[in-house]
Amino acid sequence: MNKKVIIIGAGGAGLAVLSVMLKQEFDALILEKNSDVGGVWLSTRYPNLRIHSKSFNYRFIDFHPIKSVTDRATGVEVLNYMKDYATAKDLYKNIRFNTKVFKIVRKKNKKCEVYTVNTSNNEQQLFECDIVICALGFINAGTPHIPHFINEAKYQGTIVHSSEFNNSMLDDILSNQKKVIVLGAGRSAHDILILFEKLKNNITWLYTKSLWSLSFERLYNNNNKFSWNFLKILYGYYLILLKIRYVFPKYNSIMRWLQKPLVNTLLLNPLEPNTDIFQNRRALMGWQQFHYLQTIKSIKSNIEMLDEYAVKLTNGQILAADYIICATGYDRIANLPQIIIENENETNEEYDPKTKNLLYNMLDMDIPELAFFMTDGIYIQQLLSYSIAGQWLARFYKERLANNPDFLNRCSALMTKYQHQWYVPNRYLSNGSSYAHEKKNEYVLPLLLQDLGIGKKFAKALLHSSTNERIFNQVILKMIDKLF
């Protein structure tokens, strides 16, 4: 009898895992709280939403790249790509929509119970299975994070998360000359700020943590061999500095001097160009966007309290504000269901993956019936990483990996070497992934590929070709030949 698999979430991660599980003849089903596939691309619809890289490297490994009008796909184009993938792979029949998972119980007999509620009629239902995969994804593994403000009830303006900012709000702001505060310095803040180019005198960019970005034009300027080799040299230099930062974490004048070659060639920061380049989340920024953001009024402070149509900042300033747009990321664990583990001694314990040592950021070898796709720790192109990780999980559960003594010995060694691989520090406003200079497992992708019989060299090839469409497609075709 085929093992039953429940996958939570029908975003990119869930679709990738469902596709490969069905190919490997698992009895697989996705439970999705929304009414369609797409994950973050379904729930986030702010004007100007698009991917930050070029479209060609944002793809499932077993499907064609996104066909976008420009070289960077819009949010609508990405969402349609997800739907096309689900249709082409005949996945819709294995997805239960409007079904929110609120509890998982791993029984002492190693079976799993998944408790759900229908978001339309509040009816509850129990699903039994052998394996549960929490495919809540990289960005939307939780709920939009809006800070709580003192006197929030007194405020008469609009407080909205960036994911819920829409065209009607934009029209209201532009037509009525509204005062706007954009809180946060991440990628969605960059996208939303550029919408107010005609109204920038009424816009205040409020941030507590500056964000470094890669130059879009420099990164994709690989039409000649010299520029491409130069990029590889810069990346090698970045890795050297990264190792130095592991040993000497303090940012000082020496480190600032060592970072200058990268700042002068590849990296951009419109707010604080003399800060540590390793405090970044791998955003991309075009030169036009960079120069525009430099002209926006920005204040490094936070909101202390609200009045009817004003905010008081922690630095004492008072600003008029009709809208507060919170580009403050997501609470990464808010959507994770309660997980209960039944023990042999008849006691129950609540399971928290943050405190566990997860192999490849996915799997607790002590409780392999539970898997997690909740981090960006595999590869920067998320859809591709989910496709590869899905292949690994399917083969693991088919025991095509677990019966290999070398694999098990290496798992044991890795579990000892890497502690708290999935751990998300709470001090980050968005509860997002850790900074580049903090120690974490950087070797997930090569090891996954090695386990799949492809070889570690493809991990390096993917990284080095990720901005060159011709070479990237060649690498993908070779990987497909080996995987399928």
- pLDDT tens track, the chain, 484 positions: 789 999 999 999 999 999 999 999 999 999 999 999 998 899 888 898 998 888 998 899 999 999 899 989 999 999 999 999 999 999 999 999 999 999 999 999 999 999 999 999 999 999 999 999 998 865 444 578 888 999 999 999 999 999 999 999 999 999 999 999 999 988 889 999 999 988 888 999 999 888 888 899 888 876 666 577 787 788 889 888 888 877 777 888 999 999 999 998 889 999 999 888 887 656 789 999 999 999 999 999 999 999 999 999 999 999 999 999 999 887 666 678 899 999 887 778 899 877 777 777 788 888 999 998 765 555 556 788 889 889 989 988 987 775 566 666 666 666 555 544 433 333 333 444 444 444 454 567 787 888 888 888 888 888 778 888 888 999 999 999 988 8
What is residue 140's three-state secondary structure?
coil
Q: Identify the DSSP state of 214.
A: E
Query: From the CA atom positions of the chain, what is the Rg in Å?
Result: 23
Spatial separation of the C-alpha atoms in residues 212 and 191, rounded to whole Å: 15
Which CATH number applies to 146-208+301-328? 3.50.50.60
Sequence-separated (6 or more) residues with CB below 8 Å from residue 339: 103, 104, 105, 106, 350, 351, 352, 353, 370
Euclidean distance between CA atoms 333 and 331, whole angstroms: 6
**CA–CA distance, 2 with 33 (Å, rounded to integer):** 26
Closest CA to 107 of 369, 310, 413: 369
Quickly name the fold that domain 4-143+331-483 has. FAD/NAD(P)-binding domain (3.50.50)
| Local structure of residue 332 (DSSP, 8 states) | T
Q: Do domains 4-143+331-483 and 146-208+301-328 have the same CATH topology?
A: yes
Helix (H) or strand (E) run with residue 82 in it: helix 75-88
- Tokens 């490997």 belong to 24
pLDDT at position 107: 94
Domain boundaries, the chain: 4-143+331-483, 146-208+301-328, 212-281
Check: CB of residue 305 under 8 Å from CB of residue 151. Answer: yes
In this prediction, residue 403 carries a pLDDT of 57
For residue 27, give the nearest of 136, 130, 135, 133 by alpha carbon: 130
